[in-house]
Structures are given as C-alpha cells and as structure tokens.
C-alpha cells in the first residue's frame, strides 16, 4: 500500500501529528530522510522507546482519532479538543489542525506540539482516564477553580468559596448540568436529559437525578 511517495510527502502530511500504531497512538517526531523516496518516520510516546516505522505500513492508521477532554495537571484544567472541519495538508491530528476549549474559563485556545506529544493527550485518544477523582477534592484551595476530565465526553469543574460550592458538568465543550452535593448524581439541563447521556454518565460512575 503506497500512501506517501517519499520523505517530503510524509513530513508535510504526518510530522507533528498523531497516528495509531499497533492499537496505540503515537506522536510523529519526523522522517528519517536517508533518501528522497524513504518513507520511514520516527514515532514517540512518553515512557516508551521511540520507534522507526514505515508511513506506508498497514500497521500505521492515519484515520482521524476521536477527540475529547484531556487533563492539564492533576486538576489544573480540562480541555476539550476538537478538529475544525476545514481542510489542511496535515493528515495527522496535530497542533496545526486542532483547537481546545478550556473548562475553567470556557476559553478557546491553540494546541501546542508539546501538548500533542504529551501522555495526557495520548491517554485521551486511547480513552484512558482516572475515575478516582474524589481523592483530589481535599486538596482544593478556597477561591480557586479546578477541573478534571472524566472521559472523552465529560469533564467536571469545581469551585468553592467559603461555605458555597459549585460543581458543573461539561459535555463536549458545553455546560450540561451540575453535580449534586452527594458527588454522584447529576442534575442535567433539559436538552441533555435523555437516554444517551444517561448511559454515558453511568460509564463514568455518575447518575442522572430522577
């Protein structure tokens, strides 16, 4: 299978982006470039040895991965990643064709190459999340906002000021409801109160209010 004609083609379309290789997502650091027709590239993943693979290998999947929330720090923020529909030369999802929406300030932001090759970002693509988030709540400081990614679909924002606290549920870049004081039940907005959202909530150990 020939998708790429040489090093310059691979470099233009894949370098700086993410591809799936053997059921995991990897960041494409660059091409080998020993000859003009060389389609080998170096892929990296935190805490693992880098690999040299042929971009034309059937084991390299360039299909757009599912996007969602990735975690910034422990509870510093959660950012929803999306890929705008306009066409770019880069085929792989990377800094040049992704944008993010922060949970804490609901701000739209550019995504850096450092983010794309980070373990939290790759974990997001792999669907790996820490659902044991309640252990972090005791470390929250009064007057500060915190956020945690629960899944590709959901994130929570926490804010406490004195005796008042608010916990909002975010769904794919939008506020979908709020978490009740029991930290297990969610009061959903009317437009999100339906069976699909209910089933997805159960997957992250939450339940809709009745």
Q: For residue range 79-130, what is the model confidence (pLDDT) as tens digits?
A: 999 987 765 667 788 888 899 999 999 899 889 999 999 999 999 999 999 8
Share of the chain above pLDDT 90, in %: 60
- The pLDDT score that the predictor gives to residue 194 is 95
**Is the same domain home to 121 and 138?**
no
Q: Is 193 helix (H, G, I), strand (E, B) or coil?
A: coil
Which range of residues forms the domain containing residue 56? 7-61
**pTM for the complete prediction?**
0.86
Cα-based distances in Å from 44 to 81, 88, 91, 183, 197: 21, 23, 18, 38, 35
Q: Tally Cβ neighbours within 10 Å of residue 64.
A: 11
Q: How many domains does the chain have?
A: 3
149 and 184 housed in the same domain:
yes
Task: Tell me, yes or no, whether 83 lies in a domain.
Answer: yes
Give residue 160's pLDDT band: very low, low, confident or very high (50, 70, 90). Answer: confident
Give the whole-number percent of the chain exceeding pLDDT 70.
Answer: 96
For 42, counting Cβ atoms within 10 Å of its Cβ (0-12 exposed, 13-18 middle, 19+ buried), the class is middle
3-state secondary structure (DSSP) of residue 30: strand
Identify the helix (H) or strand (E) that includes residue 39.
Answer: none
């Amino acid at each position: 299978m020939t998708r790429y004609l040489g090093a310059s083609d691979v470099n233009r379309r894949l370098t700086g982006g993410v591809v799936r290789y053997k059921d995991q997502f990897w960041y494409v650091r660059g091409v080998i470039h020993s000859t003009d027709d060389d389609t080998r590239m170096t892929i990296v993943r935190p805490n693992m040895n880098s690999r040299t693979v042929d971009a034309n290998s059937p084991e390299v999947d360039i299909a757009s991965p599912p996007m969602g929330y990735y975690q910034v720090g422990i509870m510093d923020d959660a950012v929803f990643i999306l890929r705008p529909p306009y066409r770019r030369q880069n085929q792989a999802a990377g800094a040049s064709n992704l944008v993010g929406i922060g949970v804490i300030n609901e701000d739209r932001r550019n995504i850096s190459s450092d983010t794309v090759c980070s373990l939290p970002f790759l974990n997001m693509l792999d669907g790996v999340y820490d659902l044991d988030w309640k252990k972090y709540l005791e470390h929250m400081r009064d007057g500060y906002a915190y956020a945690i990614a629960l899944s590709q679909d959901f994130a929570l924002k926490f804010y406490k000021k004195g005796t008042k606290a608010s916990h909002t549920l975010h769904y794919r870049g939008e506020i979908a409801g709020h978490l009740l004081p029991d930290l297990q039940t969610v009061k959903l907005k009317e437009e999100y109160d339906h069976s699909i959202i209910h089933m997805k909530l159960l997957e992250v150990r939450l339940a809709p209010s009745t």
